[in-house]
Amino acid sequence: MATSARKSTESQAATGTAGKMVNAWRAPTHDGEPNEAATKPLEWSLIAWIYQFTNPHAPKRNRLFAFVVLRSIQLPLMAWTLGRVIEGPVSHGSATGLAWGVAGYLALAAFTNGTLHFRQRLALELGESVVQDLRNAIFAHLQELRMSFFNRTKLGRIISRTTSDVEAVRAGIQDVFFVSIVGSGQIIGAGLLMALYDLPLFLVVSLLAPVLWCVNLVFRKRLSQVHREVHESFSRITSSLAESVNGIEVTQSFVRQDVNAERFSDLIDDHSQYTLKAARTSGSFLPLLEFNNQIFLALLLAVGGYRVLSPDIQMPIGSLIQFFFLANILFQPIQALGEQYNAALTAMAGAERIRELLQTEPDWQDAPREDSGITQGNDIAGRVRFENVGFEYDAGVPVLHEVSFAAEPGQTIALVGHTGSGKTSIINLVAKFYLPTAGRVLIDEADMRALPNRQLHKHLGIVLQQNFLFSGTVRDNIRVGRPDADEVAVRDAVAKLDCLDLIEALPRGFDTEVGENGCNLSLGQRQLLCFARAMLADPRILILDEATSSIDILTEARLQHALAKLLAGRTAFVIAHRLSTIRHADLVLVLANGRIVQRGTHNQLVSQPGTYRELYEQFIQATAA
Amino acid sequence: MSHADPIAEPSADLSNAALVRRMLALAWKYRFGCLQIIALQGVLLVLSVVGLTMLGTAIDVIRHAAVAGSPSPNFPFGWTPPSEWTPYRVALVAAGTVLVVGLVRALFSFWLAIVVARVVQLGIVVALRSLVYDKLQRLGFRFFDRHTTGSIINRVTGDVQSVRLFVDGVVIPVIMVLLSLVLYFVYMLRLHVGLTLACLATMPVTWLLSVRFSRKVRPAYERNRDLVDRMVLTLTENVRGVHVVKGFGREPEEIAKFDQASGAVRTQQHWIFEQVSRYTPTVEMLSSLNQAVLLGYGGWLVIQGALPLGGGLIVFSGLLQQFSSQVTRVAGIINSVQQSLTGARRVFEIVDAPVEISSPASPVRLPKIAGELVFENVSFGYDPTKPVLRNVSLTIKPGQCVALVGATGAGKTSLLSLIPRFYDPTAGRVLLDGVDLRQFELDELRRSIGVVFQESFLFSDTIAANIAFGRPDATPEQVEAAARIASADEFICEYPQGYETKLREGGSNLSGGQRQRLAIARALLLSPPILLMDDPTAAVDPRTEHEILDAMQSAMQGRTTIVVAHRLSMLRRADLVLVLDDGEIVDQGTHEELMHRPGPYRKAARIQVDFNEPEPLERAS
């Protein structure tokens, strides 16, 4: 009832349980960039922005408001009832009054706890609904963004938006807002009742409230500072550990165990110093709060006792007793409000980053469907022409100059050149991952800008070096390009590559799980899957960046064979690493510093001195000399 | 070495009883710290009862003076104020006592927090982490094959915390809860027996409810974590595979996939919310019921004059609140027991894991290692039932260069890994200069072997430190000399900070070819008589391959070298080519010899020639 052990049901109710999820997934912070701000001052426009996300759930939100207001009245009322029974019937010895009082108290308690059920459930549900909406909105928005966004944004950052930032906003919605309302209501209610009982005593004890608030503020700031230090020193431990585990072969073969152990022990010592500092800070904060309670009780006895005993004032003893009960209701929310204030700052920082992401415009707008030069449903022939194309990723740093060439339907174009010569940029432009900064890229003689992305990508297949696979089965991965393909079509695509036996040799054939990033498959198998994926999609235009890793010779032979099948009958752009691919190409474009320096077939090019000859000689020396 | 086949877990006793025994032993090791904590908490406990009693007494004193006919106060602790004191003076003294007790309590609480941090975080956690880490580094590779990086990291971080939780989350709280329950109980009984029993009636219910609740909801939270992980995985793959997503126009399917994953989280959360929002009000209602009982029965007793108002009813309500918070702690303790058992199993699994590969008691020492290697009927399997090497016998003379060829999974890497004893053969033996490898001092053996892996792991440290990884005391001149042989000196010097350039995690600011050349330099700095190279060009662009080949070429000079290779250029240079197929040596000889007889080697080599053999340049020009 009164005195020392105060608990804050209101904030526990919401944060205590659902709050655990915040830690469920923590994005890696170790990406070498400055840490993102953990907090941000309150800002009205941002609050309004978050608030609008509750609009789709308005009925739930409005009911929640009603329950919250109700509860902020009920809580002071319960404390008052307790005090009232003790100062009234108990003090005056009225047994019937006591019975009525207890019955009233029980009824009020039942009512209050019924309210609590709805208040809690609605808040949690509202928080989760908004969080889900936000996550889906972020994800859908990401699909709209262009490749340049993904090149300049680290994966860890994007993940933080949908995990820790969204969780911070959740706390803002489900707790901060409503807990603050209940808390403020409690303070006002209890304060009013106390002032009614005895104004001077109320004024004296309420002097403690600002003290409490300041202690809170100072310590929370310091606590979050030391916690950040603890967290940082801890992530140094984890990253050192990760290195040790990933590099265990190197460590053991170079007999480095003792040196590593020493370094690690330095790190954990360092970390424990921060932990001790954190313990020292929180170890003085909580006792200070507790001490503040004791000061309050002592004040109440000294001042209240004086007012009761002084013949001039004669405050009724009942009022003093009421003060003991109401004080809890008055002081307890102060600490809770401090917590909420901090949570609000964190929510602001998270919301700001989410808003920034959601308001990031795609670098260029996609062509509207009706404008497309190629009407929907019509197949394209697959003629690709570059007309004086210039391109820069960063303004002022051109990577392609005046590139012009034409690929006739069904031709294979091999792109050859050193790293950084512009091969990948050409491929990026064919795929419309970027738009040229000068000149035009034409598909079937229509400017690609006028072709909506979805329409183009329906006719496009892409196989890149990384051979990216999604977690799921082999079949799922082959079907990426045509999700509606049936079993026959999937098998057929693999059979066309003459590789059915290789897939069937996998532990569970087409049902084999590939694991995250395809780690259960060998390099060759991974590439084969990507070929099959492109084969099934049966695109008019194919983009291929050959794998650079050497694969054992026999598998390599199979892949070469499959590749020839895949390229047949399509316009293909290949960043070629294999001599056989280059030899079979209809056109070899030799690139240097963003320009086409030579063009022709392999046989033509190899017979004339120039960049191609040099590359070729180097290549032969490396592979077969 | 990525076989994840489950093999027999370490046989040490990891039953719950054994784990509890070991953790109790751990607590016993830190008994002085623990006793200090318990003593401090005991003092705090007594102080809180004293403060509470003084408060109640003061109320009674004031009431007695102010309200005619109210009972006279009972003074506690055998203390009676001098009769000449006015009631207000008594109240002031009581207020002062409350204040002083509060101050002392604050100081003691602070002291307690520091002691706990010292014993637990500076003592137990640091000791356990060092122990686990040290052991971790010495474990055989089987352990690393069996567990993911994440799980291993967790053992040193989270699981160690779970183990120490047994000390400060189980052992100490159990003692404290018992002590305080006894104290409160006795104190309350002293005030009034009937009231005590009536008020405590709901306690077992609260306790049962909280235990049942956490048992019911915990698995749901774990499942929720899985669902959230799955959702994050969908996002991660979407971003990492953004080329595929966009290139195949898969955005709508991806959005649907994410909606589903995110919806699954929400649906499951709703069940949890329902449970939580039923549980909290129920427990709150029980506590209100308690207060009602106290109010009714206690109030009636006050009316009857059987209980003082302040020193009785109000003190009682304070005690009751503390009592019930102790009872709810029990549920927390039960959770801690579960958590620390899980953590302890994973921690002790490492601590107990036999170091499969260790040095013999009296190792053989050779003044100088010549580098002759002999495999005698060697068989080996990561999982003993699935051999990856079968009856391999071969002899490599000092200074020879041997190339291993074969398809993926033929056993090339496995064969290499037996030489530095990353694994021991399951049958047969490997001899170095005529001595079984197992008779050497392990560290000495490994120091005399330089290893270059398929994809070499570099550490986030300077280039110099990475090269000197195996010999941290090497001079800068030695480091540079090694880098020069590995043709790494040139590109290192192009960096403004040269050898002091910091590498990012995994050396990601270097190209594949540069990483491999550093790895070769790192191996060379040991000046090992034996050099093992596991397909160092595997992850490298063919056009930069020749840079590494040069480095490899000069590195081999004067050492016994075994290299896994695919390229004819390397195979032609080898003194001996071993053709492995399905764990067996199916053919051996020089490149020329092998090309003259039919077999898988000739077939494979011809395919490669078909693809890559240059047309004679004379004709072309």
List pLDDT tens digits, range B96-128. Answer: 988 999 899 889 989 988 898 888 888 888 888
**A181 and A215 part of one domain:** no
Instruction: Examine residue A176 and state whether it is found in any structural domain, yes or no.
Output: yes
Could you tell me if residue A194 is inside a domain? yes
Sort out which chain B residues have CB atoms less than 8 A from A295's CB and list them.
Answer: 99, 102
Contact (CB<8Å) B303/A93: yes
Enumerate the H helices of B420-566 as residue ranges. 442-447, 463-467, 476-485, 489-494, 512-524, 542-556
Q: Write the residue in B157, B299, B538 that is nearest to A550 by C-beta.
A: B538
Q: What is the pLDDT of residue B534?
A: 85
Show residues of chain A in contact with B255, CB under 8 Å: 136, 139-140, 143
Distance (Å) from the alpha carbon of A307 to chain B's nearest alpha carbon: 10
The answer to whether B398 and B531 are in contact (CB under 8 A) is: no
Cα–Cα distance between A80 and A190 in angstroms, integer? 8
Residue B10 has pLDDT above 70, yes or no: no
Residues A357 and A273 in one domain: no
Q: Return the pLDDT at A515.
A: 66
pLDDT at A246: 76
Mean pLDDT of A179-191: 88
Give the per-residue pLDDT at A86. Answer: 83
* Span B305-359, pLDDT tens digits: 888 888 888 888 888 877 777 777 776 787 788 888 888 888 888 888 887 778 8
Mean pLDDT of A176-186: 87
Q: What is the pLDDT of residue A433?
A: 87
ipTM over the 0.85 cut-off: no
Q: What is the CATH number of domain B373-613?
A: 3.40.50.300
Considering the domain boundaries, does residue A589 fall inside one? no
CB pairs under 8 A between A and B: 523
Flag whether A549 is in a domain: no
Greater confidence, B77 or A441? A441
**What percentage of chain A has pLDDT greater than the value 70?**
89
How many Å apart are CA A332 and CA A339, to the nearest integer? 12
Q: What is the pLDDT of residues A108-163, one digit of tens each?
A: 999 999 999 999 899 999 999 999 999 999 999 988 888 888 877 877 788 888 88
Pick from B297, B329, B298, B292: nearest CA to B316: B298
CB contact under 8 A, A291 and B87: no
CATH code: domain of residue A74: 1.20.1560.10
Q: Do B233 and A99 touch (CB under 8 A)?
A: no
Are residues A170 and A60 part of one domain?
A: yes
Q: Which of residues 107-146 of A touch B (CB under 8 A)?
A: 109-110, 112-114, 116-118, 120-121, 124-125, 128-129, 132, 135-136, 139-140, 142-144
Measured between beta carbons, which residues in chain B are less than 8 angstroms from residue A78?
A: 288
CB within 8 Å of B364: residues ≥ 6 apart: B435, B439, B440
Indicate whether A252 and A180 sit together in one domain: no
Q: Are residues A271 and A192 in the same domain?
A: no
* Mean pLDDT lowest among A97-111, A255-269, B542-556: B542-556
B562 — pLDDT class (breaks 50, 70, 90): very high
User: DSSP state, B30?
Assistant: T
Indicate whether A138 and A165 sit together in one domain: yes
B52: closest CA of chain A, how far (Å): 8
Of the partner residues B48, B422, B621, the one whose CB lies closest to the CB of residue A607: B621
B604 versus A436: the higher-pLDDT residue is A436
Q: Are B526 and B447 in contact (CB under 8 A)?
A: yes
What per-residue confidence (pLDDT) applies to A412? 92
Tell me the pLDDT of chain A averaged across its residues. Answer: 82
- Tens of pLDDT along A377-404? 567 888 999 999 999 888 888 899 999 9
- A284–B250 C-beta distance less than 8 A: no
Task: Let me know if residue A112 belongs to a domain.
Answer: yes
Per DSSP, the three-state class of B559 is coil
Cβ contact (<8 Å) for A113 and B285? yes
Are the Cβ atoms of B106 and A298 closer than 8 angstroms? no
Indicate if the pLDDT at residue A230 is higher than 90: no
**What letter does residue B74 receive in the DSSP assignment?**
P
Distance of CA A595 to the CA centre of its chain: 40
Higher pLDDT, B142 or A494: A494
The CA distance from A560 to A497, in Å, is 10
Q: What is the pLDDT of residue B1?
A: 35
* C-alpha to C-alpha distances, A440 to A343, A450, A507, nearest whole angstrom: 51, 11, 48
Task: Indicate the domain borders of chain B.
Answer: 15-191+332-355, 193-306, 373-613
Q: With contacts defined as CB-CB under 8 Å, which chain A residues touch B117? A: 275-276, 278-280, 283
Least confident range from A46-50, A364-368, A451-455, A518-522: namely A518-522
Q: Which residues pair with A587 in a beta bridge?
A: A413
Whether B246 sits inside 8 A of A433 (CB atoms) is yes
Shared domain for A342 and A214, answered yes or no, is no
Q: Is the pLDDT of residue A374 over 60?
A: no
Count CB atoms within 10 A of the CB of residue A389. 21
Residue A599 burial (CB count, 10 A): 15
Band (pLDDT 50/70/90 cuts) for residue A550 is low
Residue B429 has a pLDDT of 92
**Residue among B102, B133, B321 whose CB faces A264 most closely:** B133
Facing B569 at nearest CB: one of A239, A317, A625:
A625
Average pLDDT, chain B: 83
Burial of B9 (0-12, 13-18, 19+ CB in 10 A): exposed
Whole-prediction pTM value? 0.77
Mutate to test the interface with A, among B104, B258, B323, B537 (most CBs of A within 10 A): B258
Name which of A155-169, B59-73, B190-204, B340-354 the model is least confident about.
B59-73
Please give the tally of structural domains in chain A.
2
Question: What residue numbers bound the domain in which A51 lies?
Answer: 10-28+36-198+326-362
pLDDT band at A14 (very low <50, low <70, confident <90, very high): very low
Can you tell me the mean pLDDT for B561-572? 82
Same domain, A184 and A284: no
Distance CA B459, CA A245 (A): 11
pLDDT in tens, A328-339: 788 778 777 877
Q: Per the CB < 8 Å rule, is A139 touching B109?
A: no
Chain B hits for A457, CB-CB cut-off 8 Å, are 246-249
pLDDT in tens, B401-444: 999 988 777 888 889 889 988 888 999 999 999 899 899 988 88
Residue B31: pLDDT above 70? Answer: yes
Query: Do A192 and A54 reside in the same domain of the chain?
Result: yes
| pLDDT band of A623, cuts 50, 70, 90 | low
Q: Is residue A539 part of a domain?
A: no
Q: Is A211 in the same domain as A296?
A: yes
pLDDT score recorded for residue A70: 92
Do A308 and A192 lie in a common domain?
no
Decide if B134 and A464 are in contact by the 8 Å CB cutoff: no
Q: What pLDDT sits at residue B353?
A: 81
Residue A370's pLDDT band, with cuts at 50, 70 and 90, is: low
Per the domain annotation, does A296 fall within a domain? yes
What integer pLDDT is reported at residue A549 of this predicted model? 60
Give residues 476 to 505 of A whose Cβ lies within 8 Å of B.
Answer: 480-481, 483
Give yes or no for A3 touching B (CB within 8 A). yes
With 70 as the cut, is the pLDDT of residue A225 above it?
yes
pLDDT band, very low/low/confident/very high, at A624 (cuts 50, 70, 90):
low
Residue A465 has pLDDT above 80, yes or no: no
- Res B5: pLDDT: 35
Residue A337 confidence (pLDDT) = 81
* Position A180 in a domain: yes
